[in-house]
Amino acid sequence: MTTIAGHLINGEMIADSTRTQPVFNPATGQATKEVALASVETVEAAIAAAQAAYPEWRNTPAIKRARVMFRFKELLEQNADRICELIGEEHGKISHDAAGELQRGIENVEYACGIAELLKGEYSKNVGPGIDSWSEFQPLGVVAGITPFNFPAMVPMWMFPLAIACGNTFVLKPSERDPSSTLFIAQLAHEAGLPAGVLNVVNGDKEAVDVLLTDERIKAVSFVGSTPIAEYIYSTANANGKRCQALGGAKNHAIVMPDADMDNAVNQLLGAAFGSSGERCMALSVAVAVGDAAADALVSKMKEAMQNLSVGAYSDSSNDFGPVITRQHQQKVNGYISSAEEDGATVVVDGRNPQVEGFEEGFFVGATLIDGVTPQMVSYKEEIFGPVLQVVRVNSMQEAMQLIDDHEYGNGTCIFTRDGEAARYFSDHIQVGMVGINVPLPVPVAYHSFGGWKRSLFGDLHAYGPDGVRFYTKRKTITQRWPSAGVREGVNFSMPTMK
């Protein structure tokens, strides 16, 4: 274990290995390298590099910034296998799942390629005699992103490509648990033609984060992670005068109506609940079955289908999902399963301590199905972030919707039904930010925007898409007059109008 993942500052790799921590392969349970944890001085150096690069990059024509994004997209596609391998080695994500993550990230780069169109402002001629007015969208300056372990490729690409295309410079603090794919992707961005200092990556812990939140040179902060940390990020950034969007946790419910195509619902729930080991903020972790007949059918069919699911190492693409990120998280997920059982729920399919041949020390949790869960249980209230699907039984759609509305999180939800009226009512009235109709993971495409409601999002603007452009820019409105020769107005102390 000699390799050290360092930092990318001003176009160069920096070791700064005063403090390090191990990076594990979750499938084997073994530490494979160490990651350097940035000192205050290292983070400040990254901010200084971004600040120095900003004036020239800000004034680079948008079309030239877009051309860098086009080349970056090509390099991502050419190096996809290597990126997915790095994700698998440090996150544990199965190769096909890693490829899907990367593709969704590439789609955000594609959106950033249209930045010249996206930054076009508004223009009005002759708003008054000889007066023209227009608005334009200018970059903020140096901005920062703090990203989670579960999507080391995709979530950073929710942030820095669009921010950079808008003319900002960027300091990225990825998760220290799986840093290598993020660093490799940043190096590809430089290979695509980014000038030194435009994109900087610092690995680290809270010490690094706090510098980004308090340094006056940072103008905005984007964050994705758990709700307690999101709340801290948002409050601290705001207290220091920064624009902030902080995406937090989730407890995503799927309503299963009595008229649902049950076989289709089961197939959709399998992937949505257990894909990526349930380590998604959009994972469906609660199925709300309306009526005992629907609940019994759902549980029976889920139990049968789950017998064929395979958990294992990332390198075997026949596996459905891999390990969770750490030994501690494995124990935490198992604890939630035990907690539900102790509270009176029925563990229908038990994924605690699965045996994966050849990977006995890996951080695996098998697919788990729990029936008879109630809103009073801790396992229902809190985000499990593992391959666990809980079933709550209710008597009506209104009761199901009330259950969802009452929860502190409002990230994503969906309904399985054949009834168009019910689906329309659900999507119109449910208090959740992203809604699916027979679609279990309603993650918006790159040219829309991603974000939940309630305690799943702190801030007014969602991530990427049109909201991303608005987050990484500030509107300036200019009103201009060129008086005609010989024509001069007198002094006017009244508010100007067109009356």
Question: What residue has token string 């103008």?
Answer: 219
Is residue 401 within 8 Å of 429, Cβ to Cβ?
Answer: yes
Q: Give the N- to C-terminal CA distance of the chain in Å, as an integer.
A: 76
Q: What's the confidence (pLDDT) of residue 155?
A: 98
Alpha-carbon span 199 to 191, nearest angstrom: 12
What's CA 187's distance to the chain center, in Å? 21
CATH topology for 4-248+456-478 is Aldehyde Dehydrogenase; Chain A, domain 1 (3.40.605)
Alpha carbons 269 and 271: distance in angstroms, whole number: 5
Q: Can you give the pLDDT at residue 177?
A: 96
**CATH class for domain 252-437?**
alpha beta
CA distance 466 to 448: 6
| One-letter amino acid for residue 436 of the chain | G
Q: Hey, is 458 helix, strand or coil?
A: strand
Q: What is the pLDDT along the chain (499 residues), one digit of tens a residue?
A: 567 789 999 999 998 768 999 999 999 999 999 999 999 999 999 999 999 999 999 999 999 999 999 999 999 999 999 999 999 999 999 999 999 999 999 999 999 999 999 999 999 999 988 899 999 999 999 999 999 999 999 999 999 999 999 999 999 999 999 999 999 999 999 999 999 999 999 999 999 999 999 999 999 999 999 999 999 999 999 999 999 999 999 999 999 999 999 999 999 999 999 999 999 999 999 999 999 999 999 999 999 999 999 999 999 999 999 999 999 999 999 999 999 999 999 999 999 999 999 999 999 999 999 999 999 999 999 999 999 999 999 999 999 999 999 999 999 999 999 999 999 999 999 999 999 999 999 999 999 999 999 999 999 999 999 999 999 999 999 999 987 776 667 777 777 777 7
Q: What is the pLDDT of residue 145?
A: 98
pTM of the model: 0.95
The domain segmentation of the chain, as residue ranges, is 4-248+456-478, 252-437
Is 113 a residue of the active site? no
Give CA–CA dist 158/443, Å, rounded: 12
275: closest CA among 225, 319, 333? 319
CA distances from 65 to 191, 240, 466, 468 (A): 14, 30, 18, 16
Tell me whether strands 457-458 and 243-247 are parallel, antiparallel or unpaired: antiparallel
From the list 478, 466, 471, the residue with the least C-alpha distance to 118 is 466
Helix (H) or strand (E) holding 63: helix 62-78
Q: How far apart (Å, rounded) are the C-alpha atoms in residues 245 and 457?
A: 7
| Cα–Cα nearest to 70, from 109, 104, 100, 42 | 109
Distance between CA atoms of residues 192 and 461, nearest Å:
29
Q: How would you classify residue 48: left for phi > 0, otherwise alpha for psi between -120 and 50, otherwise beta?
A: alpha
How far is residue 415's CA from residue 478's CA, in Å, rounded to a whole number?
A: 47
Comparing 4-248+456-478 with 252-437, is the CATH topology the same? no
Q: Classify burial at 377, counting beta carbons within 10 Å of its beta carbon; exposed 0-12, middle 13-18, buried 19 or more.
A: buried
Q: Which of 113, 166, 244, 281 is catalytic?
A: 281
Q: Give the DSSP H or E segment for 405.
A: helix 397-406
Distances (CA, A) of 187 to 72, 195, 241, 332, 406: 10, 11, 31, 35, 45
DSSP state of 99: H
CA distances from 320 to 325, 351, 388 (A): 16, 14, 14
Query: Tell me, what's the pLDDT at 487?
Result: 64
Cβ atoms 245, 458 nearer than 8 A: yes
